[in-house]
Structure 1
Amino acid sequence: MIPIKNTSLLLALICITMVNCKNSDKTVQTDTTAQTATNVYNGTASVSQGPATVVTENIFECDRGREAPIGTSVATDGSTWTVPALVNFTDENFPFASDLFNPCTKVEYASADEALAALNGTDIVEIDQDGEMITAYVFADNYFEMYINGIPVGKDNVPFTQFNSNIVRFKVNKPFTIAMKLVDWEENSGLGSEANRGQAFHPGDGGMLGVFKDAKGEIIATTDANWKAQTFYTAPLRDLSCASEEGSLRLSDTCSTEDSNDGTSYYALHWKTPTNWQSADFDDSEWPNASEYANEVIGVDNKPSYTNFTDVFDNNSADAKFIWSTNVILDNEVLVRYIVE
């Protein structure tokens, strides 16, 4: 007799020979996958495997830009997750940020002063009537949504590519809390990857940098390791055993980030976002501090949406740092927070 090494095939053959067997081969494979995932992963996330079901093929059209799909992944515990994240890009009540440099709209300013001069004041979100005008300059790879004291003040104009940068203006009294949702978009829905460098499944990197100025033009806050950052979606993972947790740290630093031409069986980890994470009174004391990344790691020194504004982003006296969670490649949805005193 030839030994059968494929467990799914063996169970399917047994199923066929039993009169009362009601499970299909598809169900057997799903159950086997779920059991395997549970056995090798001991963290707090829900686990999904394989591509998501694409709900929207592309939420934004841009010349020479990548498609930005929205999908849903069903985890082994039965929970359903929106990937790469549940965002407000199509919500008309959430204001868009103003363009600093945007190849998609052809609004491409040569300096921050030129971009500011083009604004007429209708972009300003009033949080406190007697508040001070604050101007934020943001470069996000790929997408951000910003809240101040829980109030939406600006979202990225481009969810994926081409690479752009933004201005967000609001009036608020100090102290105030900045909360941002950051998303590294994916072309392969539910698999945290894109076609790149000749490979179908390339895990792209994230990264966000922000500079906040007061009404006098003085820098009052920049992104750095003093911000809090927590990850809520990690993919792609070839092997679930590489993921671990240490307190509130959700770690994937030992996981492979190599490109692949077949990532359809890879895993993803999903954590539920707190309902009030945007608010000023949310307790983020247990969240990890943000990790800092150099310009060359993020790859911005050849992008005019960044290099046109190095006097702001790389200011000699207050140089902002790119921040993310502990894994800028595999972590795809990250929430960050910071209090400006």
Structure 2
Amino acid sequence: MRPVNYSNLLLLAVLFILSGCQAGSKAETQTESSGIASYQGTASVSQGGANVLVANIYDCDRGRKAPLGTATAADGSTWTVPAEVNFDNDEFPFASDLYNPCTGVEFSNAQEALSALDGADIVEIEPDGELVTAYVFADNYFEMYINGIAAGKDNVPFTQFNSNLVRFRVNRPFTVAVKCVDWEENSGLGTEANRGNSHHPGDGGFVAVFKSADGGTVAVTDENWKAQIFYTAPIADLSCPAEQGALRLSENCSSAGAEDYALHWEVPANWYSADFDDSGWPAASTYTNDVIGVDNKPSYTNFTDIFDDQASDASFIWSANVVLDNEVIVRYTVE
């Protein structure tokens, strides 16, 4: 029988332990490189799904559920997701239907929609002002203020896809401020079920055309608007998002699933007022109809003479990331 070489066994044991430590250290490093410790931005960071407060704030046949929840961030702060909204606030007027499969109000053109209104919908910002009509398509939800006064909110928070009219009297110049929300099925994660993927990050998009009583174009959404982000999700790797001044960048980031992260920034208290200083905000990014995917939606295509008028073509606007940025505020002053 050959004698046991204990020195060799000891050497093998040491090598095995060192190998295990290196593997563990590598795994820990990988986790740290993508986890909360790796985040260098100004947002509060939450991870995983939110606490659902309301499973669905609006019922629509063939529409997605629209939950509201609260996400708790690593710093202890709590955030309403996908956004704090006025959907159930009776003092905030609903916009009129342009095309709405949920209510069955499906006009084939803008003139039909206007003819159905009796004037009670008009919001008097300034009673001696001109009558302005805003034609709006939002993916998914919007709340519009004119000079700080609530003028109209979307009557469908998620789907089916709808479009709206908002009418108001105002003198120029006037300031338009809109909270835009890309709703989520998976509360706190910025995702929805789509094409077999239970955590598909949906996209946003907002387009509007403002017309005077004589049919002239007063304003359209384009690159001259301002846009700032307040909720971004999902983010798989927190070392990816970056900030450059007021820019909150995530367009190169990816998502993975139910344990992804979300970024939350505080919305300024007076963001909707005419005198709010948005000079430091980034310019809105513009998107084509193909990118947003509206060419098969009659809530848009029935009104392309408005939205896609060659003389004053409106662009879809959002932040720089139309997929992961879920709460975006846009502003513009009409001269």
Deviation at 1:35, TM superposition (A): 11
Match for residue 20 of structure 1? Answer: none
Could you tell me whether the CA contact under 8 Å between 2:34 and 2:239 is conserved in 1?
no
Amino acid at match of 1:264: A
Alignment of 1:118-197 (within 5 A): 118-197=116-195
Cα pair 1:37 1:47 within 8 Å, conserved: no
Query: Equivalents in 1 of 2:117, 2:195: separation in Å?
Result: 39
2:99 paired residue among 70, 84, 101? 101
Cα distance in 1 for partners of 2:168, 2:74 equals 43
Q: Percent identity?
A: 68
Aligned to 2:72: 74
Q: CA deviation at 1:215?
A: 1.7
Tell me what 1:59 maps to.
Answer: 57
Change (3 A) 1:81 1:34: farther
**Structure showing greater Rg:** 2
Which residue of structure 2 lines up, in the alignment, with residue 314 of structure 1?
308
Alignment-mate amino acid for residue 87 of structure 1 = V
1:232 deviates by 0.4
The answer on 1:207 being equivalent to 2:201 is no
Q: Is the 8 A contact 2:142 2:179 kept in 1?
A: yes
SS at match of 1:116: helix
Per-residue Cα deviation, 1:136-192 (whole angstroms, up to 9, x for no partner): 000000000000000000000100000000000000010000000000000000000
Provide the rounded CA distance (Å) in 1 between the counterparts of 2:329 and 2:312.
Answer: 23
Q: CA deviation at 1:253?
A: 1.4
Question: Which string of whole-angstrom CA distances, capped at 9 and with x for unpartnered residues, describes residues 85-112 of structure 1?
Answer: 0000011110000000000000000000
Q: What residue ranges of structure 1 are gaps of 5+ in the alignment?
A: 11-32
How far, CA to CA, are the matches of 2:186 and 2:168 in structure 1? 36
8 Å CA contact 1:135–1:212 kept in 2: the answer is: yes
Aligned residue for 1:113, secondary structure, equals helix
Instruction: Pick one of 273, 282, 285 that aligns with 2:267.
Output: 273
Distance 1:36 1:321 in 2: 35
4+ residue stretches of structure 1 with deviation over 6 A? 4-7, 33-36
Equivalent pair of 1:147/1:178 in contact (CA under 8 Å): yes
For residues 189 and 219 of structure 1, what CA distance do their matches in structure 2 show? 38
Of 101, 115, 121, 1:117 maps to: 115
> Is the aligned partner of 1:283 residue 2:277?
yes
**Partner in structure 1 of residue 3 of structure 2:** none
Letter in 2 for 1:309: F
Q: Deviations over 1:8-38 (max 9, x none)?
A: xx9xxxxxxxxxxxxxxxxxxxxxx999744
Tell me by how many angstroms 1:216 deviates. 1.3
Aligned length: 313
Q: TM-score, normalised by structure 1?
A: 0.89
- Counterpart residue number, 1:85: 83
- The equivalent residue for 1:227 is 225
Which ranges in structure 2 are unaligned for 5 or more consecutive residues?
1-12
Cα distance change, pair 39–221 in 1 and its aligned pair in 2 (3 A): same
Query: Normalising to structure 2: TM-score of the pair?
Result: 0.91
Alpha-carbon spacing, 1:236–1:209, altered in 2? closer, same or farther (3 Å): same
Residues 34 and 76, structure 1, Cα contact 8 Å, conserved in 2:
no
